Structure 1
Amino acid sequence: MTAAAGRTGRPPLTEERKAEIRLEIARVAVDLFVAQGVAATTGEQIGRAVGISARTVWRYFPSKEACVRPLFAAGIEAVADGLRAWRPGRPLEDALECAVMDGSLVHSPDHATMGALIRLTRSEPGLRAEWLQSYDEAEPAFARALAERAGVPADDLRTTIQAAALNAALRAGAEYHVWRVADRTVDAATAETEFRATLRAALATVAGGLS
């Protein structure tokens, strides 16, 4: 009998299922962070809410703050997809409308979750570090997408600078919107409309350059 034939127990998780679990952990972690703060939240609580052990949580993430990474990664992937599909002559803010504002980032439960998470980065140093780290990871991803679109090498200086400017605009726009909304009481529809307008203005500023 071969080793494979004699193997028992649960079948290994697919990569797709692992990604689903990571995202579920991220959503639950943010809910707990909002409800009781990061310091008061434990790996055991996160795991219990997801239906897994704390040991499994730590298998996926090195810390409780790191649990939010899949939410940031989804945003990076959506923007990079939009950049690769950006057609010549089309405004940058229109090119990313579908990927970011008309796509899953707005019209999904993760939109509200992301808003809550970004608000937390204002006062939670550990989450702030994860937020800033996500932008370090986003910049080369955007540069590669822009280089692919332009048909130039991945390390081209122009696309590197364009990616840095785009990255900064998205971060500044998201923080500007979320932190302003946090200081006011607005309904979900108004918040979404303002979010779209803020991101479009930020992207238009990058596309227009500095005068």
Structure 2
Amino acid sequence: MDPDRILFVDGEALVIDKPAGLPVDRPRDGSLSLDNHLEQLRLGFRRWPVAVHRLDRDTSGCLLLARNPKAAVRFGQAFEAGLVEKRYLAVLDGVPEGEGGTIDLALAKVSSRDAGWRMVADPKGKSARTGWRTVQVKDGRALVEFRPETGRTHQIRVHAATGLGVPVVGDPVYGQADRAGMMLHAAALKLPRPGKEPVFAEAPMPERFGNWS
């Protein structure tokens, strides 16, 4: 992995700018995943770092890894407690109504033999909340900032497609696949640490976003 993709490092935390297309978990077909880069990301430590949360394969940006087991537990608890601030940027395949607000839409997982699994809005599902605001509009599309308050699977993607009625550009499940890839990027992450400076990182906009800023 390019050293330039290391956004933050200290004795217990490592934040990388995960490239789109790289899965965090090892795929069943044995293709490349984050695991293939962990040896390189030891950075002199005896243990491999461990991913504390997940980003979808086609989502780029800030991914936090813990460099020791105690840190992994504490960081995981911070995510569970909703203490981690996350900021995402996405280009939507249309322009949502209004300038911003909060999407409060519970999510549940459904699956079928033919279509596989996906997340859907379901009042009986797990609560999911996402703050959003429109940053830029051009050519019938919008660059939108999302700040998820919860961390459900595919949360931003479903909240965009169902909550706002406008899917993320290139989303192969909730919108239309695109050769350029899915336009969803984890732009920033901040994790508070009692008695220490917070873990904070910002990931630059990827090339696939073109001249969106």
Bin the TM-score by the shorter chain. under 0.3
Q: Which one has the bigger strand percentage?
A: 2
The structure number with the bigger radius of gyration is 1
Relative contact order (C-alpha < 8 Å, sep 6+): which is higher? 2
TM-score, reference length from structure 1: 0.26
TM-score, reference length from structure 2: 0.26
Q: Which one has the bigger helix percentage?
A: 1
